[in-house]
């Protein structure tokens, strides 16, 4: 046990991390930026392991009061149509909509059409965890420092379809490989705010989606940097780790399965209208893997839940990232388990750095007094990138690194999880 809640911090990165040019003309590298952004991790000593940290989230439900305005976007994906909700952090207001999460109201159409701006404020696009939304406490803790007086950040949260009291208007929910909604919002933000540097933060399942998106877009990704927090990375490994222990199955798998069951039951009319899912089968779901078997495999066409986990995992995708990428994990995370973290892949990619704490649980990191430690490295890193780093100098070929893998007659395409033969 770490002494009196003082967690050990370790970093994993390429031996030659991405070189970054500072605004004063000097140079640093991505690992140094991440290290400088990460303060000591002093957690509540009464919550001395990952289980206690994680379970405390059900008790400590207070957090910063963030206010939002919601906009419903029509999806522009040619196959996965429908709508999804994006919540924009705004100044406090007193006209919250009772049908939405706390402190949230819809944008008036006449106000939203005037949202475009040529200002150069940094903008953060956030993805939440499984069955969550913009209202989640861990998320509000993380963005509050950026919304504080004087920071001048713009923040929006992309809610997964059906989450945070949003409607389901097509035959799909969301999964860890469903990158098109965040891609649409990033591209929309690039057009609507052409001078804003864009950043991304994802939590848990949202971290997996964000990692897959950043990898799929590679050097063409419009984001200047991304942060992935509590990322399960390898979903099959994480799932099997939960199922092999009584606590993992009967607590975490059961709770997550119950939450997803509640979510889908709240959309029964839409589900019956748009899908061919078997309702009785869904209602018999107890564990998360059963939900994925009953819903995800049928919705997306995977033969088994393990096939979904393997395809949607982002562990291999890490190698395709070509923007500064900061991953933050806890070694005692009982859900996004440490054995699923692709540390060897991170060592091979100069664009990626992992910070791992010995304590913290899953998206918890509770400090004495109820604060959340993860908010500090997230906000510090993003602020440092904006204030100190010459963002336009970041190029996918910086340092002359070649990231095509070994000298063989094959090439592994990490975003596709596929080995191609080059010479037949």
Burial of 306: CB neighbours in 10 Å, binned 0-12, 13-18, 19+: middle
- Catalytic residue selected from 87, 316, 333, 338: 333
328 and 201 Cβ atoms separated by less than 8 Å = no
Spatial separation of the C-alpha atoms in residues 199 and 415, rounded to whole Å: 20
Give 3-state DSSP helix, strand, coil % of the chain, rounded to 5: 40, 20, 45
274 and 170 Cβ atoms separated by less than 8 Å = yes
Structure tokens at 83: 């709508």
- Catalytic residue selected from 362, 364, 374, 384: 362
DSSP 105: E
For residue 182, which of 203, 165, 151, 167 has the smallest C-alpha distance?
203
Active site residue 333: yes
C-alpha dihedral (277, 278, 283, 288), degrees to nearest 10: -50
- Catalytic residue selected from 166, 204, 356, 364: 204
Structure tokens at 36: 């400088």
Q: Which residue has the tokens 């509540």?
A: 44
Spatial separation of the C-alpha atoms in residues 40 and 6, rounded to whole Å: 8
Q: Which residues pair with 119 in a beta bridge?
A: none
Q: How many residues does the chain have?
A: 424
Using DSSP's 3-state secondary structure scheme, residue 251 falls into helix
Catalytically annotated residues: 204, 333, 362
């Amino acid at each position: 046990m770490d002494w009196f809640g003082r967690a050990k911090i370790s970093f994993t990165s390429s031996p030659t991390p991405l070189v970054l040019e500072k605004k004063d003309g000097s140079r640093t590298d991505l690992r140094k930026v991440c290290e400088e952004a990460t303060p000591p991790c002093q957690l509540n000593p009464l919550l001395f392991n990952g289980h206690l940290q994680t379970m405390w989230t059900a008790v400590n439900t207070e957090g910063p009061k963030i206010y939002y305005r919601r906009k419903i976007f029509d999806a522009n994906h040619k196959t996965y149509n429908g709508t999804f909700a994006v919540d924009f952090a705004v100044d406090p207001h007193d006209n919250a909509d009772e049908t939405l999460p706390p402190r949230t109201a819809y944008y008036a159409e006449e106000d939203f059409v005037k949202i475009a701006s040529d200002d150069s404020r940094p903008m953060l696009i956030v993805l939440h965890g499984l069955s969550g939304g913009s209202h989640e406490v861990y998320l509000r803790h993380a963005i509050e420092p950026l919304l504080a007086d004087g920071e001048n950040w713009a923040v929006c949260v992309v809610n997964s379809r059906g989450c945070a009291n949003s409607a389901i208007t097509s035959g799909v929910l969301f999964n860890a490989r469903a990158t098109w909604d965040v891609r649409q919002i990033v591209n929309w933000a690039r057009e609507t705010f052409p001078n804003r540097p864009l950043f991304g933060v994802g939590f848990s399942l949202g971290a997996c989606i964000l990692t897959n998106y950043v990898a799929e877009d590679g050097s063409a990704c419009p984001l200047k940097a991304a942060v992935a927090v509590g990322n399960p990375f390898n979903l099959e490994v994480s799932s099997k780790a939960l199922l092999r222990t009584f606590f993992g199955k009967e607590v975490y798998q059961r709770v997550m399965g119950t939450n997803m069951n509640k979510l889908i039951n709240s959309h029964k009319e839409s589900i019956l209208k748009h899908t061919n899912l078997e309702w009785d089968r869904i209602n018999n779901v107890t564990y998360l893997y059963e939900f994925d078997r009953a819903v995800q495999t049928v919705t997306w066409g995977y033969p088994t839940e393990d096939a979904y986990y393997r395809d949607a995992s982002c562990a291999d995708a890490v190698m395709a990232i070509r923007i500064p990428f900061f991953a933050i994990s806890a070694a005692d995370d009982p859900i996004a388990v440490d054995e699923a973290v692709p540390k060897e892949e991170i060592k091979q990619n100069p664009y990626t750095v992992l910070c791992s704490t010995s304590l913290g649980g899953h998206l918890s990191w509770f400090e004495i007094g109820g604060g959340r430690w993860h908010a500090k490295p997230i906000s510090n890193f993003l602020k440092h990138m904006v204030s100190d780093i010459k963002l336009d100098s970041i190029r996918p070929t910086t340092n002359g690194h070649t990231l095509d893998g070994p000298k063989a007659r094959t090439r592994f395409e990490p975003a596709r999880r596929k080995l191609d033969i080059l010479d037949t």
